[in-house]
Amino acid sequence: MGKKYKNLFDQITDPDNLWEAYRKASLGKRLTMGYLLFKQDEAANLSWLRRSLVAGTYRSGEPHTFMVYEPKPREISALPFVDRVAQHAFCNIVEPLFERAFLPQSYACRIDRGTHAAAASVQSMLRRIIAGGGDPWVLKTDFSRYFASVRRSVLRQEFARKISCSRTLELLRRFIPPDGCGLPIGSLTSQLAANIYGHIYDRWLVHTVGVKQFARYMDDVVVVGYSREAMALLQTQAASFTLQNMGLRFSRWSVLPWTAGVNFCGYRIWPTHKLLRKSSVIRAKRKLRNFDARGDAEGRLKFLAAWRGHAQWADTHHLIQHLGVEHD
């Protein structure tokens, strides 16, 4: 079971923690109206937030919802600024407790991890097996509607595995209702909760099945094995386990030889090199055309800076030349 933590609520509502939460919530938000209004009387606003948390009267405000369509349609929930501060205060204290338990095969929303480290780990697995004389096969799975399918009753049990502080668990109820299914995309506690939920699958793979050569980036999982038969059997077992215990179904899955390349975290991965996914290149070309059509030079530069940050981890020298953006 591991250690359970109590007396966390006082740490969450400690003034120093609230000021740190305010600092984190401000990053990238300093031009938003929510931040500017909060900043006008930041000390009083933080004092009010602390009093409402301690009194148990705190309630999350109504989120602003909007749609994003790339890489796929998703509804995003943007919380009022004060609620972002409250969630940062919660996660400042609670997230490290779970981070210690997360397995190294999990890469999403973790410090010093991310998509590039996840892709590099898959490439390393392929190289190790080939160097040992093996011929790797790859099971690639993707959960359908991951955030929307999370069973909150199961999630609550996962939080309770580590937390015995009743006031902290009650605060969690303010962020994530205890019953039903689904997590809103866009909030900090949803991000943490989704990682905790995925840890159920990680534990099963490592401790029950004995599989350690895998990488998970939120709902995308790659397992590298030694035979097609073993990977196909694992897919059947995994589909049964995740449906029965987590309420999750695979939207897509495949068992392919390593020579086909591993489609993961925006890259196609081989032991010797990585390429950007074709869909990523198509989206980049479309965005560049749109920026040029609008004459939006500033937007083009900002997009290229972010895109190059992703592209530089793949073999993209010729692609950048082809797009004509090597000097932008």
Neighbours of 321 (CB within 10 A): 10
| pLDDT for the residue 3 | 83
pLDDT band per the 50, 70, 90 thresholds, residue 218: very high
Ranges of beta strands (E only) in 211-249 are 214-217, 220-225
Give mean pLDDT, residues 93-102: 96
Residue labelled with tokens 């020298």: 317
Give mean pLDDT, residues 46-62: 96
Quick: pLDDT tens for 169-202.
999 999 999 899 999 998 999 999 999 999 999 9
Neighbours of 296 (CB within 10 A): 13
Residue 111: which of 126, 89, 96 has the closest Cα? 96
Rounded to an integer, what distance in angstroms lies between the CA atom of residue 231 and that of residue 229?
A: 5
Sheet-wide strand order for 267-269: 262-264, 267-269, 274-276
Q: Is the pLDDT at 93 greater than 80, yes or no?
A: yes
DSSP 80: P
| pLDDT for the residue 248 | 98
Bigger pLDDT: 319 or 261?
261
Residue 150: which of 121, 115, 190, 183 has the closest Cα? 183
Q: How far is CA 109 from CA 7, 113, 194, in A?
A: 26, 7, 10
Residue 141: which of 30, 260, 245, 252 has the closest Cα? 252
Terminal Cα distance for the chain, rounded: 54
Q: Is the pLDDT at 327 greater than 60, yes or no?
A: no
Give mean pLDDT, residues 136-158: 97
Tell me the whole-structure pTM to 2 decimals.
Answer: 0.89
286 alpha carbon, distance to own chain's centre = 26
Strand partners, 200: none
